[in-house]
Structure 1
């Protein structure tokens, strides 16, 4: 049980596996007005940076669930590094369908809404682990500008233009799910640069250390093509944000 190995190669040096910087992640924690002791559930928790830094800075308690064994181990090490291992727990498990035994004041899925089959299903899933009056966090891409062709959409790693909404349409869609949007923090192009460009140095160093690996040719192809693809397509067309929701 794990994610495809290519991601554990390209993102092995990432602490945050989405286009948020450390500053944006801290802003998100601040705007939620987290009370000490608030329990936060993070489905698709990656390397645990959100829960670990929020435990340090805001005194939350947290549970992170992630399918990637490497990232889960990195999250545990990060908790120890920040001195919050007693406040946060990370488990290697498929987050799809996961419902916590102890309900949370905040239930999050940042950039992994596939666990619920999309935004609507993820909101429904997170609500099952939420205390009354709690907050759901959804991290999701949106079109900064709608691609003029399906080919361009695919170059942004969408299957089609219809995979993502514009920001106004995405915000409006939450109302259709019975939710109020009570806060949002949006990534900027600097955040995208840090998320995407950091992969290139990781790939180059990995290739130098693993020239005979079965994935070396694939990693080499990515390193050759990704900078141009990213600056031409993703950076220009795709946005990303975290939206704080409360059920009506």
Structure 2
């Protein structure tokens, strides 16, 4: 899905997942979730819901709901569900995750979207997000949390190269993050982290279609703005968080 025909810069069409997640890892996660026989799956900040759809494919008795505030991504999710024969088993709902009344569910997915469960205008707090996730899953149910963590303490120069206002308090170390899941009422049954290959595939795929678009349209009215944004994104990765920021995929069981 690209925007070439419209003449506008493309948006995320080259990505399967909106994060450093390989198809093989996603399928393993989906298989483990399906083995528990879930009846329903809730995806928080689902985007176009690729992992949600894979869980439903692996668990043919389950129904799913994805919530997000991005209408374009939700429309893409509905189209994907239709093309894969899943439209009658999944709903994509445009709403805020904070305070949602859609839970509890047997499986809750939250990949790179835990900030949607935190107080607006406040610093991101994974402890707050984990408590919200605990309320959205039934006892014995599974949560898959995709959450950032520091692989190592970033230097001042690396922080300066990241996103605006980046500071050490933005993330925890992996051990401290997993400890928080236990404090929130979970047992961490599977801990895995994105590989360098997954990061490189995501970061390159995130900009691929836009880079091709820019190369072909240097004089387009939107080229200067698009070029500045794309160069800033690439620089933040290569000069900032590459090898410093990790993504953990934690499969958690809600304790009774």
TM-score range, shorter chain: 0.7 to 0.9
1:37-186 pair list within 5 angstroms: 38-59=39-60, 60-100=62-102, 103-117=104-118, 118-149=125-156, 151-157=157-163, 159-186=166-193
- Which runs of 4 or more aligned residues in structure 1 lie more than 6 Å from their structure 2 counterparts after TM superposition? none
**Counterpart of 2:46 in 1: which secondary structure?**
coil
Aligned-partner SS, 1:236: coil
Question: Among 201, 211, 217, which residue is 1:204 paired with?
Answer: 211
Partners of 2:17 and 2:172 in 1: CA distance: 24
Q: How many residues align?
A: 237
2-structure distance, mates of 1:161, 1:70:
33
Taking structure 1 as the reference length, what is the TM-score of the superposition?
Answer: 0.85
Contact 1:15 1:47 in 2 (8 A): no
CA deviations on 1:68-119 (whole Å, 9 max, x unpaired) are: 111100000111111111111111222222131x531011211011112232
| Aligned Cα root-mean-square deviation (Å) | 2.3
Gaps of 5+ in 1: 1-7
CA distance in 2, matches of 1:173, 1:47: 28
Normalized against structure 2, the TM-score is what? 0.83
CA distance in 1 between counterparts of 2:238 and 2:84 reads: 34
8 Å Cα contact 1:141-1:239 kept in structure 2: yes
Name whichever of 57-66 and 121-130 sits farther off. Answer: 121-130
Q: Secondary structure at the match of 1:86?
A: helix
Equivalent position SS for 2:141: strand
